[in-house]
């Protein structure tokens, strides 16, 4: 049985850990609120640019732009969005498991695909397994701007246009609520799922629709990546807040259990001392 000093030491250390996890929970809650606002604020922009792209694409059905047409798939690229650090529950492992399963089902060799990694966890995961990581973005701020991922987004889109690979999938955690984040697979390129705009707005294109598509389509694809990053950041903070809340609750339960154990051990020690005193007095009589 542990001594009173050992039990008290465990109680003290657990209380300190509980204070840390509680502070991390509050910080993550604050970051989550701001990240959720950023993600929701980006939705109207994406809706509008999708409307414009749909209107232009529907009027240029004979456009030969490579980003709008499927082609035989010889090589696939995966853009994986994870966090730079852990302590976020299953946030990172869920995404990595989904990507790994998809790779295992679609490919028989590492030469058939490449990885773009956003986040240190994902970058390290694939590097350790000998999988080619063409570009990685690590150390992103908690509230990222487009400038933070501009390089990797443009490289991912540009290499598709150049024909380095034939399709681009994106994996990230979609923010549903503070307690629910769903792993999402989204096909970014080619842009075959653009539907004709149902809006009644009329657009005039100058100099031409094809010239506008040449500029707008890469920006649209890059915006899809940035929107997923904002969504993923909100999910990351929510997952970390939930994980730290669970850790705090577990610490509280452990403290209660150790306190009860400490009180019982102390009571047993007191009872033993009283018994020894009574026994000593009886012996003197």
Secondary structure (DSSP) of 25-43: HHHHHHHHHHHHHHHHHHH
pLDDT at 123: 92
Within a 13 Å sphere around the CA of 238, how many CA atoms are in the beta-carbon half? 22
pLDDT at 59: 60
pLDDT at 255: 92
pLDDT at 108: 87
* pLDDT (tens digit per residue) in 23-50: 999 999 999 999 989 888 888 888 888 8
Q: Are 163 and 190 in contact (CB under 8 A)?
A: no
pLDDT at 3: 80
pLDDT at 249: 93
Instruction: Flag residues of the chain having pLDDT under 50.
Output: none
Q: How many CB atoms lie within 10 A of CB 221?
A: 24
- Confirm whether pTM is higher than 0.95: no
pLDDT at 198: 58
Task: Please tell me the class of the 23-243 domain.
Answer: alpha beta
pLDDT at 199: 56
Domain boundaries, the chain: 23-243
* pLDDT (tens digit per residue) in 6-19: 888 899 999 999 99
Q: Are 104 and 257 in contact (CB under 8 A)?
A: no
pLDDT at 61: 52
pLDDT at 4: 83
pLDDT at 268: 82
pLDDT at 72: 87
pLDDT at 196: 59
DSSP strands (E only) in 106-231? 113-118, 133-137, 167-177, 180-189
* Burial class of 126 by CB neighbour count within 10 A (0 to 12, 13 to 18, 19+): buried
* Burial class of 163 by CB neighbour count within 10 A (0 to 12, 13 to 18, 19+): exposed
Residue 131 makes CB contacts below 8 A (sequence gap 6+) with 110, 115
Using left for φ > 0, alpha for ψ between -120 and 50, and beta otherwise, residue 77 falls in beta
Residue 27 Cα distances to 36, 42, 239, angstroms = 14, 23, 12
Residue 239 makes CB contacts below 8 A (sequence gap 6+) with 88, 89, 90, 91, 173, 181
């Amino acid at each position: 049985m542990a001594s009173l000093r050992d039990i008290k030491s465990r109680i003290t250390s657990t209380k300190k850990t509980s204070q840390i996890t509680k502070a991390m929970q509050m910080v993550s809650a604050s970051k989550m609120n701001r990240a959720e606002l950023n993600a929701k604020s980006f939705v109207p922009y994406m809706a509008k640019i999708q409307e414009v792209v749909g209107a232009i694409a529907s009027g240029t059905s004979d456009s030969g732009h490579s980003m709008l047409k499927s082609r035989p798939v010889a090589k696939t690229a995966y853009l994986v969005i994870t966090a730079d650090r852990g302590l976020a529950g299953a946030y990172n492992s869920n995404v990595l498991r989904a990507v790994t399963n998809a790779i295992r089902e679609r490919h028989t060799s590492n030469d058939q695909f490449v990885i773009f990694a956003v986040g240190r966890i994902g970058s390290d995961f694939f590097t350790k397994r000998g999988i080619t990581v063409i570009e990685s973005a690590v150390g992103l701020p908690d509230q990222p701007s487009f400038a933070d991922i501009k390089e990797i987004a443009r490289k991912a889109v540009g290499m598709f246009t150049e024909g380095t690979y034939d399709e681009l999938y994106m994996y990230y955690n979609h923010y549903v609520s503070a307690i629910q984040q769903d792993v999402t697979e989204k096909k970014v390129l080619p842009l075959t799922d653009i539907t004709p705009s149902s809006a009644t707005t009329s657009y005039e294109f100058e100099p031409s629709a094809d010239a506008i598509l040449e500029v707008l389509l890469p920006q649209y694809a890059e915006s899809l990546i940035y929107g997923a990053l904002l969504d993923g950041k909100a999910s990351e903070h929510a997952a970390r807040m939930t994980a730290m809340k669970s850790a705090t609750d577990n610490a509280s339960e452990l403290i209660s259990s150790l306190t009860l154990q400490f009180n019982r051990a102390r009571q047993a020690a007191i009872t033993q001392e009283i018994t020894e005193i009574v026994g000593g007095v009886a012996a003197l009589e």
